[in-house]
Amino acid sequence: MHAVATVPFHLDRLEPAEMSRTARDFADRMAARRSVRQFSPEPVPMDVVEQAVRAAATAPSGANLQPWRFVVITDPVRKRALRHAAEAEEREFYSRRAPQEWLDAVSGMGTDWHKPFLETAPVVIVVFEVHQGPHTPKPYYVKESVGIAVGMLITSLHLAGLATLTHTPSPMRFLNEICERPAEERAYVVMPVGRPADGVTVPDLSRKPLPEVLVHR
């Protein structure tokens, strides 16, 4: 083993009242986050997307190997190819492979194999897991690491005023060809990004109350 170099670490020390206010304000802002399936085609500032990816890439990861790749797609031709390929997989999934319990669970949410948001949204981010390959070391806790990074990406985009949707067509291997990524990278999620379309609505869902998800011991 070799010693890892260290540097000083500083975290602002907030007074309890300010800590509470900051935590509550953040929770309130995140409580307004919703997944959106109808996007405005209006372009979004690319520097906002890049800074959100920068924030996501600060996520903790196993052995600090940072096993993620963020492919940002804005080219209309590539987005159209992505939509057509995803819809082909989703059509097969919804008609033949999806278990009935899944179909029952999403029956009231208006989801089916049609995925126009993949073409309408001005930006689509495809997040890949990076596994061991000719030029990449063996990573650890890949799914956990990438999952945390995706959560931070969604948060960053939401706080910047952009809506997102997490889309996971099954299977997703076709994304390597569309995104021109090597075999050691495996698609984790497809995320349309943009402003919500005018007049958009979302399902009237509720979150579990805090006492139902929080346990003190």
Note whether residue 14 is domain-resident: no
Burial 171-189 (b: 16+ CB within 10 A, else e): ebebbbebbebeebbbbbb
pTM score: 0.94
What does the pLDDT look like over 174-187, one tens digit per residue?
Answer: 999 999 999 999 99
36 within some domain: no
When divided into structural domains, the chain yields a total of 1
- On whether residue 193 sits in a domain, the answer given is yes
In a domain, 4, yes or no: no
**Structural domain contains residue 217:** no
Structural domain contains residue 161: yes
**Domain span at 60:** 41-97+113-197
Q: Is residue 122 situated within a structural domain?
A: yes
In a domain, 24, yes or no: no
Q: What is the CATH number of the domain that holds 137?
A: 3.40.109.10
Per-residue pLDDT at 1: 62
Per residue in 78-106, pLDDT tens? Answer: 999 999 999 999 898 888 888 888 788 88
- Cα 51 off chain centre by: 15
Parallel/antiparallel/unpaired status of strands 163-164 and 68-73: unpaired
